[in-house]
Chains A and B, each alone.
Chain A
């Protein structure tokens, strides 16, 4: 096994063109590595491009420019046949548990989709056994296999998506809000499962979530995105104890605590302002409309992502 990071993302760009004359820079020049057997947490405002990053890494979207290397293989450069082989090694747990499950199939068939596509089970009995094992792994029971997605609650559907991703024994999983619809006990169960699999099999994760305490728990490094760009990126403990970017600071200060007395007594400083549109973005720092530190320079020139402390990258000129 080489020391090469399993995932290398370089200057990745993914634009959408909603209308003539409009360009929506969903992912704009994003670079990072994810070493084998580690987890990168990815957080940020709704609509900042997290899902698009995940989907473009897996080539569910074609990139506009930049590159993604998986185990040294150029994901966007390989032939169809080679790509199919890759899809077994990389999986995604989709954010939307309602839209991502085909309502015409039973939950058992949905979970077995990858198994069938890649011919992973020799006999019917082996397939059934595997489905049951996967359902139980994610805290569902075997009776669920014969039921249809619309009969499930949000959290139950999300677990079906997790079982489906695990079914092909992948090496890399993009977990896109994989636990957000689950109660905390099942969240704990899924997080433990993901971390156990990582310990045993060396799985690598891109973990996208709004729940910062879970991100903190599971991630080795954490990246913060704002409007298509990574604005801060550091080792997880460093990021949480020493946030540098004003957006990251606002984010951490806004986390509610499961403690009513503390919540009642806390001083609230709401971050004001709206997230600007990613369509035809203006030059300059994209956070400047909401930033307490913004100066004229910020409004005109893009801040560069620089290394403020060893391994701690931040894109803000005033820190």
Chain B
């Protein structure tokens, strides 16, 4: 049943800039199965976008450089493939939707044609057939009046409609992996709900594997089967959605979950709980745990040696010295969600 689509192993990506080497991704490993949604959350600037753009081979090199690691898609190694060779995968096997659909749509080309061109690039079918497929895609993403909408220009659509067109383009070649980087950040929650429903439908019907990057933990709770938490260029914790929300292991995850404003209460001097301090300098990442400088539980060893990965029986893992047998017992803080989650069961 669990058909492995993608395995990323110890991926390291740097940018060579005037000021020096920015170590944006520092040893990231994860996998994605058919018909599952992996959410990637974490610190802004922690390397989420760079990671998935590397999988898509979208980072211009230079300045970007894959220092090491492997990306295996259905048994085939992708690292080292030429741009030409990658073209066979991009758009066909993997497709990506971005936060801002307008920057990725061609403003001077009618929508139907844009979808059809995308199909023609990858498949040897007639223009007529491609047009028909495009029409079908628009129908599938729930755009009303698809015949009429085929001949409109992107700027005449609202944000929600554009995002659906992006999804239609992304799905036109029936990719096995859909990568969505902040796909609904620019939309109101009613349109967001429609888009998320659409993505879940695809997953169920076509078995698409989805990698979803978002800061909205509500969206994550709604969509994710598994969650990877990134900090400072690394995945610091990874587990099922329930494990991450109800039983998080890493102090950064604790901090993240604790920062949310609790639903149903309002300010009156109420401060949100932010994680104090600033993220690590990726020019010179710390030798030990990347989170050490901001971690309330930091021990001496944390600043010296990178923590090893501790894995539970179910496969939930985290990299933190607190999980070492010799470390003192630390109770995770109480979160609102846990109480709510417990109650609803």
Contact = CB atoms under 8 A, between A and B. Distances in A.
Contact of B99 (A140, A154, A212): A154
A255 B266 contact: no
Given A141-B281, A153-B49, A185-B275, A258 B245 contact: yes
B45 A191 contact: no
A185 B271 CA distance: 12
A188 B160 contact: no
A168 B192 CA distance: 36
Interface string A253-292: 0111111111101001011001101010000000000000
Interface string B238-275: 00011001100000000111011101001100111111
B285 interface: no
B9 interface: no
B188 to A, nearest CB: 5
Interface string B266-299: 1100111111001101010000000000000000
A170 interface: no
A98 interface: yes
Interface in A202-217: 210-214, 216-217
Contacts of A180: 185-186, 215
A271 B246 CA distance: 30
Most buried by B among A147, A182, A183, A189: A183
Most buried by B among A188, A251, A265: A188
A258 B158 contact: no
A261 B158 contact: no
A237 interface: yes
B261 A216 contact: yes
Interface residues of A, number: 65
B215 A182 contact: yes
Contact of B158 (A146, A236, A237, A274): A274
A271 B215 contact: no
Nearest to A143: B281
Most buried by A among B44, B337, B340: B44
Given A188-B274, A237-B266, A210 B256 contact: no
B256 A183 contact: yes
Interface residues of B, number: 69
B259 A184 contact: yes
A216 B41 CA distance: 23
B304 to A, nearest CB: 22
Interface string A206-244: 000011111011100000000000000000110010000
Given A155-B45, A188-B272, A256-B221, A147 B216 contact: no
B185 A257 contact: no
Given A45-B188, A46-B187, A47-B159, 9 more contacts: A181-B215, A183-B44, A184-B260, A213-B261, A214-B261, A217-B272, A256-B222, A257-B218, A260-B221
Q: Which 7 interchain pairs have the tightest Cβ spacing?
A: A155-B44, A46-B159, A256-B218, A188-B272, A258-B217, A189-B274, A188-B274
21 contacts: A46-B186, A98-B100, A141-B278, A143-B19, A147-B17, A155-B215, A181-B99, A183-B215, A185-B259, A187-B215, A188-B261, A210-B188, A212-B189, A216-B261, A217-B266, A256-B222, A258-B220, A260-B241, A262-B340, A262-B341, A263-B222
